[in-house]
Structure 1
Amino acid sequence: MLERAGILIIVAFLLSRLKSFRRIIDHEHVMKEKIILITIFGVFGIISNYTGIEIHHRSISEEWHIGGLSGSSAIANTRIMGVAIGGLLGGPVVGLGAGLIAGLHRLSFGGYTSIACGISTILAGIITGLLGKRFNIREKNAHLKAVIIGILMECVQMGIILLIAKPFGSALELVKIIAFPMITVNGFGTFIFMLIIQTILLEEDRTRTLQTHRALYIAQLTLPYFRQGLNKESCERVAEIILKHTGADAVSITDRNQVLSHVGLASDHHIPLKSMATKLTQKVLEQGEIQKATTKEEIQCYREDCPLNSAIVLPLKANNHVIGTLKLYFKSSNGLSAVDEELVEGLGKLFSSQLEFAEAEQQRKLLKDAEIKALQAQVHPHFLFNAINTISCLIRTDADQARKLLLQLSKFFRSNLQGARQMLIPLEKELEHVHAYLSLEQARFPNKYTVSMEIDESMKDVLIPPFTLQPLVENAVHHGFKHLEKGKKGVISIHACQENGKINITTIDNGVGMTEDQRRNLGTKAVHSKEGTGTALWNIKKRIDEIYGQVADFKIESEPASGTKITISLPLDEQKWGEEYAEGFYRG
């Protein structure tokens, strides 16, 4: 019995090495897979019948009985084992199907226990199939549960033989001989069989875990480059990473029109920024589905001496549109294993998600930048009309002063236009903008206020967002000094210095100040009032937050009748990063 059970276990082990069987065991069973499982475990039952041990009047024959049994013979075998395992793995349909195949074959095999054994086999298939609904092969002790169920099914078979087989004396004598070895061997065989299946699942889980880790690792390495979109530089770095961490002999990335990068074999004719070298790629772009090629002819490269013999081409998608392809090439026609294929498919989905997120992020930034640019480009119409009126009056009385103011007005608008096109400018340029504005305002109100500046010379080349100082000075002039006490002269002080690795830019005025509620709201949202909207301060703070994040600071200090102090702190060690931000904005 052990020898015959060993034959079935060897067959089970060989089956476990087949990829198709491993996939069937590991996946949810559709009808096609259930039919395959019925066939497999039904055949197990048939083999058990042929390899069973004949019992004839207490004599035992070890020969295989291809032609069946005589009417006075019975057989000890492992038929119930295969049917029980089939039912547990596949559920009621598989259990019933395998039980019918093995049971009907046993019935046709002959012997005085044929009816009893046929019925018990079908019954075992039904019972184990029903139990299979709740049976989870992945549970820790699943193999032990299967052994107990297998033993119980053998016990049921012994009981049915005693009830149905005739003559009863022969049936009783048979059960005494075969009960213990059949129950023991079938239990042991079930134990080994289930361990083999659990090993299959454990290997698959381990492979998936490693594969997932590998895919996420590659995705993490490629994320900074895919965030830049599909361009030659980013795709070249991505292709190098994929080539290094997969078994491919060449990796290529394309957009819809041309090859963006190709690393590895065949680089002499798969050239970046050239048209597609293979028709396979065009097929993926048109259909949006993964395509595999196992021969050079399927790849359809225009070069006959191309060393690439197999490939997998995946679509790269964003917003449900194919925007490019990822291609892995191999020298061998069977270079891509099933595990690698699943890895590559997973990478394709991850890369598509990265490109979609990058596109959404780019659109978000463009919208923010467009909003900021619109705010930057705003010029109060009253300021323009007042400046023109002031210059018009001076033309008759002081032509030289009028000419100087006209130049300052020109410089003011030039600064506005330049600031609207740039994300960062030197502090010195911003100060020129402030000077131009003050020259025009002080021409209208010669003795209303004075301005003093203390600027660290080493800070003049530091890059800051444009329209940072000028709106603060304008706020002081129009709002801080609007309701000053009669005879009191307004004073504005501007300071810029280095402190604790930051540039601190401060404006202080001795104007009317503001209440705590006003101070709390300014810089966080537009505040609508008779005096203004607070848009200028909100604009400044928003741009600083967008460019520098939490490493910068925008602080307002003010009390009624005590003036206002506004401090802007920008990190000096973020200057290079700020330049890269601005460069990325223009490149985008």
Structure 2
Amino acid sequence: METSVALLDAIIFGGLFQLGVMLLDRIFTFYLPKSGSIWLLLILPLILSVVGVVIHYFSLELFFDEHPGYVDFLANAIPIRMAVYWISLTLVTLIAIVVGKLEQQEIIQDREIMMQELSKEVELTQLRQQLQPHFLFNSLNSINALVVSQPDKAREMVLQLSDFLRGTIRKDHQKWVPLAEELNYLKLYLDIEKVRFGHRLEVDLDVAEEVEVFKIPQLLIQPLLENAIKHGLYGTTEQVKISLKANRVNNYLELILENPFDPNHSSPKGTGFGLSSVERRLFLLFGRKDLLQTGAEGALFRVSIKIPQLK
């Protein structure tokens, strides 16, 4: 008899406690109290404790009304059961609120990361859109200069510019391509520039065979090469040699671009955009500002970029 009474007592008390836990979990899943509503942490568990203990007492009294000694025991145990019930549900409430706060912070962090990614993609798109007219305007000015003096070259440059822009429009700035593919694109660009500058421009490509398969963000080198051509040819009518070297350094693809320049001449207008755009793009892609380095040695200007090879 004592075993069955204790078992029924435990089942009812445990069931009511579990019901209280479920109610608190549901409440604080959809509602997290603010600093001015902290009183809910004490009031709700207290209300549920009173309701649970009352139901527990009258349920067992109904079953064991023929055992006055046990009924008296239930009445005397109410304060203890109330304290146990209230303390336990208060702890459950605190845990539910902490978990809810953590989940809320995680949602906020995920939203912030998503907004940062969207902002990054928008800025990358804007950089790409700036690069296209930047080069296009220069080419159109050159075509305009050739129309009268050298119409055949002007016509050739228009055709090459058309092929170049067609390939540019199809490119996706989010996509990485093998270096060999990007170099083929650069050769289209150089064909246009050679029509523009003739024998004055010589570009030496020194690319290690092993790095031709290394991946690179599309349209990354062209603004640097354009910048090198402007610096190299500005203020001189002589032949200018520009070199582009590509090698592997640990887990990086290293690109070194060198061009001659006259430190006594001021830079041509607009030549800073290529470097700044590439530096900004590298930062947006990798979150680092040490991947692009520039420096001058005498009459030689060097730009070095390192592109991490993502696995």
Q: TM-score, normalised by structure 1?
A: 0.35
Q: Secondary structure of the equivalent of 1:422?
A: coil
Q: Secondary structure of the equivalent of 1:461?
A: coil
**Counterpart in 2 of 1:159?**
none
Instruction: Tell me how far 1:406 sits from its aligned partner.
Output: 4.7
Q: Does 1:362 align with 2:114?
A: yes
Q: Does 1:546 align with 2:296?
A: no
Q: Secondary structure of the equivalent of 2:203?
A: strand
**Counterpart in 1 of 2:140?**
385
Instruction: Tell me how far 1:398 sits from its aligned partner.
Output: 7.3
Q: Name the CA distance, whole Å, in 2 between partners of 1:539 and 1:396.
A: 34
Q: Does 1:431 align with 2:161?
A: no
**Counterpart in 2 of 1:339?**
91
Q: After TM superposition, list the pairs within 5 Å mapping 1:222-261 onto structure 2.
A: none
Q: Secondary structure of the equivalent of 1:495?
A: strand
Q: Does 1:315 align with 2:45?
A: no
Q: After TM superposition, list the pairs within 5 Å mapping 1:455-466 onto structure 2.
A: 455-466=207-218
Is there any run of 5+ residues in structure 2 with no aligned partner, and where? Answer: 1-17, 33-51, 53-84
Instruction: Tell me how far 1:420 sits from its aligned partner.
Output: 5.4
**Counterpart in 2 of 1:293?**
23
Q: Is the contact between residue 390 and residue 444 of structure 1 (CA under 8 Å) also seen in structure 2? A: no
Q: Does 1:452 align with 2:204?
A: yes
Q: Name the CA distance, whole Å, in 2 between partners of 1:448 and 1:387.
A: 15
Q: Name the CA distance, whole Å, in 2 between partners of 1:433 and 1:316.
A: 57
Q: Name the CA distance, whole Å, in 2 between partners of 1:571 and 1:398.
A: 40
Q: Could you tell me which of 222, 239, 253 is aligned with 1:470?
A: 222
Cα distance per residue 1:8-36 (max 9 Å; x no partner): xxxxxxxxxxxxxxxxxxxxxxxxxxxxx
Is there any run of 5+ residues in structure 1 with no aligned partner, and where? Answer: 1-247, 249-290, 295-309, 318-332, 519-528, 577-588
**Counterpart in 2 of 1:422?**
174
Instruction: Tell me how far 1:387 sits from its aligned partner.
Output: 5.8
Q: Secondary structure of the equivalent of 1:377?
A: helix
**Counterpart in 1 of 2:269?**
531
Amino acid at match of 1:453: L
Q: Is the contact between residue 259 and residue 300 of structure 2 (CA under 8 Å) also seen in structure 1? A: yes
Q: Secondary structure of the equivalent of 2:220?
A: coil
Q: After TM superposition, list the pairs within 5 Å mapping 1:25-424 onto structure 2.
A: 293=23, 311=26, 314-315=29-30, 337-378=89-130, 379-380=133-134, 381-386=136-141, 388-389=143-144, 397=152, 402=156, 405-419=157-171, 421-424=173-176
Q: Is the contact between residue 459 and residue 503 of structure 1 (CA under 8 Å) also seen in structure 2? A: yes
Q: Name the CA distance, whole Å, in 1 between partners of 2:296 and 2:308.
A: 24
Q: Name the CA distance, whole Å, in 2 between partners of 1:490 and 1:546.
A: 33
Q: Is the contact between residue 430 and residue 467 of structure 1 (CA under 8 Å) also seen in structure 2? A: yes
**Counterpart in 2 of 1:555?**
293
Q: Secondary structure of the equivalent of 1:468?
A: coil
Instruction: Tell me how far 1:312 sits from its aligned partner.
Output: 5.2
Q: Name the CA distance, whole Å, in 1 between partners of 2:273 and 2:264.
A: 16
**C-alpha spacing 1:494/1:377, structure 2 compared with 1 (3 Å):** same
Q: Is the contact between residue 373 and residue 420 of structure 1 (CA under 8 Å) also seen in structure 2? A: no
Instruction: Tell me how far 1:461 sits from its aligned partner.
Output: 2.4
Q: Name the CA distance, whole Å, in 2 between partners of 1:465 and 1:314.
A: 44
**C-alpha spacing 1:382/1:553, structure 2 compared with 1 (3 Å):** same
C-alpha RMSD over aligned residues:
3.6
Q: Secondary structure of the equivalent of 1:441?
A: helix
Equivalenced residues, count? 236
Q: Is the contact between residue 294 and residue 302 of structure 2 (CA under 8 Å) also seen in structure 1? A: yes
Q: Name the CA distance, whole Å, in 1 between partners of 2:268 and 2:245.
A: 30
Q: Name the CA distance, whole Å, in 1 between partners of 2:180 and 2:193.
A: 20
Q: Is the contact between residue 227 and residue 271 of structure 2 (CA under 8 Å) also seen in structure 1? A: no
**C-alpha spacing 1:398/1:419, structure 2 compared with 1 (3 Å):** closer
Q: Between Structure 1 and Structure 2, which shows a larger proportion of helix residues? A: 2
Instruction: Tell me how far 1:385 sits from its aligned partner.
Output: 1.5
Q: Name the CA distance, whole Å, in 1 between partners of 2:166 and 2:183.
A: 13
Instruction: Tell me how far 1:440 sits from its aligned partner.
Output: 0.9
**C-alpha spacing 1:472/1:421, structure 2 compared with 1 (3 Å):** closer
Q: Does 1:568 align with 2:298?
A: no
Higher mean C-alpha deviation, range 435-444 or range 352-361 = 352-361
Cα distance per residue 1:258-297 (max 9 Å; x no partner): xxxxxxxxxxxxxxxxxxxxxxxxxxxxxxxxx9638xxx
Instruction: Tell me how far 1:495 sits from its aligned partner.
Output: 0.8
**C-alpha spacing 1:571/1:422, structure 2 compared with 1 (3 Å):** closer
Q: Could you tell me which of 235, 260, 267 is aligned with 1:483?
A: 235
**C-alpha spacing 1:513/1:416, structure 2 compared with 1 (3 Å):** farther
**C-alpha spacing 1:502/1:398, structure 2 compared with 1 (3 Å):** closer
**Counterpart in 2 of 1:494?**
244
Q: Is the contact between residue 479 and residue 531 of structure 1 (CA under 8 Å) also seen in structure 2? A: no
Amino acid at match of 2:187: H
Q: Is the contact between residue 206 and residue 245 of structure 2 (CA under 8 Å) also seen in structure 1? A: yes
Q: TM-score, normalised by structure 2?
A: 0.63
Amino acid at match of 1:541: E
Larger Rg: 1
